[in-house]
Amino acid sequence: MGAGSAILAHDNAFNKWVAGDGARYFSSEEDCGAQLDLLLQSDAPLEEMRMRNVQRFRQNFTWEKVLMEYEQLLLSWLPESGRHTVANEVENYLAVRKQ
């Protein structure tokens, strides 16, 4: 997605959650072939898919965003006394990394 590729994916909940409306989906071999035939008829749908995939990647799947969400999840499970220490360590790590 981040590379701007068009996506043709199996029709399942995980793929739809990841790719959203920037992909085309298939549920059988015949359906996959039909989707490929449609996509290969014109560059316009492929360009639209590429644009949507890059946009979705930037909104939802950059390392910064993903790691921030993991951090928030992990911090939510820490007792209150440990949260301050971990937050300080993360801030120190990020400050050193920027230098």
Write the pLDDT tens digit of every residue in 48-99: 999 999 999 999 999 999 999 998 898 888 777 666 676 777 788 888 888 7
Q: Is the pTM of this model over 0.85?
A: no
DSSP lists the bridge partners of residue 7 as 23
pLDDT at 75: 83
Nearest residue to 2 via CA among 17, 15, 19: 19
- Give the DSSP letter of residue 14: H
Q: What is the pLDDT of residue 79?
A: 78
